[in-house]
């Protein structure tokens, strides 16, 4: 018996030692780097693409990257959970040294698809990525970033370096990985199919499910509907004052949005006004750039997904 306990003790000691060594390695190594990619492409910057790209960026990029003057030089992402550490977004103006001015269109495309930057640095899920979005929509975002819009003009303001927590470093080693690059072109959705259009907007394009599912740590970007607590809310975020905000349940359960009419849903998404008259709290903000047709398509899609009973304490 004593021999058994001795062997067990040695085994546990070895396991503990390995775990400690791995933890030390992760903490020192930080977020992993990967082989960078560069797709051979040159995006034509047209007024139509710039307008579409600005619309997409206004809901997904600008809010996270703009400074106090509205220029996309990066800022502290105060809405992220405290357990992620101090995360600051990057300068994405056309400055050739600090920003993305020296990047090729292919390098930008690769980043937006996979999460791997020009230097091989992997950006964890707090940056939105577009593995399922249509090629044309991604090209529109790139066209906007290359445009004459004031917010993306070259600015050498260098953002403060992030200090990711051990949790972020660990997850980036064992769970969060770069996303695969689609081997074929992804077409725009059929807007005549209302549910399919809504699904595309809610999951592939604007990634609404990310905030409205249970936890950033367990979301499935490649198969959104397999994310834990898909659209059932409960994700812990923060407002600008650092106060906790728990995301809403947007399934058609009684604890979710079952009582919302289509018009009321349009009001809360586009203008931030809930059916009870209250305004939504940051980091949710009005998405007035969306058309009524787009919001109604999302509403139609949400009606088709499984209901989740999850009463959120607001």
DSSP string, 114-183: HSB-TTSBB--TTS---SSS-HHHHHHHHHHHTS--GGGS---PPPPPPEE-HHHHHHHHHT--PPPPPS
- The total domain count for the chain is 2
Give the residue from 226, 212, 192 showing the smallest Cα distance to 268: 212
Q: Which residue has the tokens 């787009």?
A: 294
Give the residue from 89, 177, 185 showing the smallest Cα distance to 133: 185
Q: Considering the domain boundaries, does residue 2 fall inside one?
A: no
Q: Are 60 and 128 in contact (CB under 8 A)?
A: yes
Residue 168 and residue 51 in one domain = yes
pLDDT confidence of residue 106: 96
Residue 72 and residue 121 in one domain = yes
Is pLDDT of 4 > 70?
Answer: no
Q: Identify the band that residue 101 occupies on the pLDDT scale cut at 50, 70 and 90.
A: very high
| Average pLDDT over the chain, rounded to an integer | 90
Residue 127 and residue 155 in one domain = yes
Each residue of 164-217: pLDDT tens digit?
999 999 999 888 899 999 889 999 999 999 999 999 999 999 999 999 999 988
Residue 152 and residue 247 in one domain = no
Q: Residue 240 belongs to a domain with what CATH number?
A: 1.10.760
Backbone angles phi, psi at 140, to 5 degrees: -65, -40
Q: Considering the domain boundaries, does residue 294 fall inside one?
A: yes
**DSSP labels, 24-74:** HHHHHH-S-B-------------HHHHHHHHHHHHHHTHHHH--TTS-SS-
Q: Identify the band that residue 129 occupies on the pLDDT scale cut at 50, 70 and 90.
A: very high
Q: Are 271 and 191 in contact (CB under 8 A)?
A: no
Residue 145 and residue 243 in one domain = no
Give me the domain span that covers residue 86. 47-174
Residue 133 and residue 77 in one domain = yes
pLDDT confidence of residue 18: 61
**Beta strand segments in 137-240, E:** 163-164, 236-238
Q: Considering the domain boundaries, does residue 39 fall inside one?
A: no
pLDDT, average across residues 103-110? 96
- Tell me the CA end-to-end span of the chain in Å, nearest whole number: 56
Domain boundary among 174, 207, 223: 174
Relative to beta strand 244-246, strand 236-238 is antiparallel
Residue 201 and residue 168 in one domain = no
Q: Considering the domain boundaries, does residue 120 fall inside one?
A: yes
Is pLDDT of 22 > 80?
Answer: no
């Amino acid at each position: 018996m004593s021999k058994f306990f001795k062997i067990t003790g040695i085994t546990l000691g070895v396991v503990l030692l390995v775990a400690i060594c791995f933890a030390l390695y992760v903490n020192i190594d930080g977020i992993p780097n990967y082989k960078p990619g560069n797709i051979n492409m040159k995006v034509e910057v047209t007024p139509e693409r710039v307008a579409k790209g600005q619309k997409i960026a206004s809901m997904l990029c600008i809010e996270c990257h703009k400074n106090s003057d509205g220029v996309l030089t990066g800022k502290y992402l105060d809405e992220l959970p405290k357990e992620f550490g101090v995360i600051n977004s990057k300068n994405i103006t056309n400055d050739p040294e600090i920003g993305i001015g020296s990047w090729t269109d292919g390098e930008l495309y690769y980043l937006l698809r996979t999460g791997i930057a020009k230097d091989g640095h992997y950006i964890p899920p707090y940056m939105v990525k577009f593995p399922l979005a249509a090629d044309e929509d991604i090209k529109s975002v790139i066209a906007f970033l290359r445009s004459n819009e004031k917010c993306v003009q070259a600015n050498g303001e260098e953002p403060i370096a992030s200090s990711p927590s051990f949790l972020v470093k660990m997850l980036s080693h064992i769970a969060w990985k770069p996303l695969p690059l689609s081997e074929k072109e992804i077409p725009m959705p059929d807007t005549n199919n209302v549910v399919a259009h809504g699904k595309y907007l809610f999951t592939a394009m604007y990634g609404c499910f990310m905030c409205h599912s249970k936890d950033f740590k367990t979301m499935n970007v490649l198969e959104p509907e397999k994310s834990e607590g898909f659209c059932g809310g409960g994700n812990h975020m923060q407002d600008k004052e650092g106060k906790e905000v728990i995301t809403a349940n947007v399934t058609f359960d009684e604890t979710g949005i079952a009582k919302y009419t289509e018009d009321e849903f349009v009001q809360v998404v586009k203008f931030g006004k809930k059916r009870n008259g209250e305004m939504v709290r940051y980091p949710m903000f009005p998405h007035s750039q969306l058309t009524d047709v787009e919001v109604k398509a999302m509403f139609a899609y949400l009606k088709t997904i499984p209901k989740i009973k999850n009463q959120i304490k607001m």
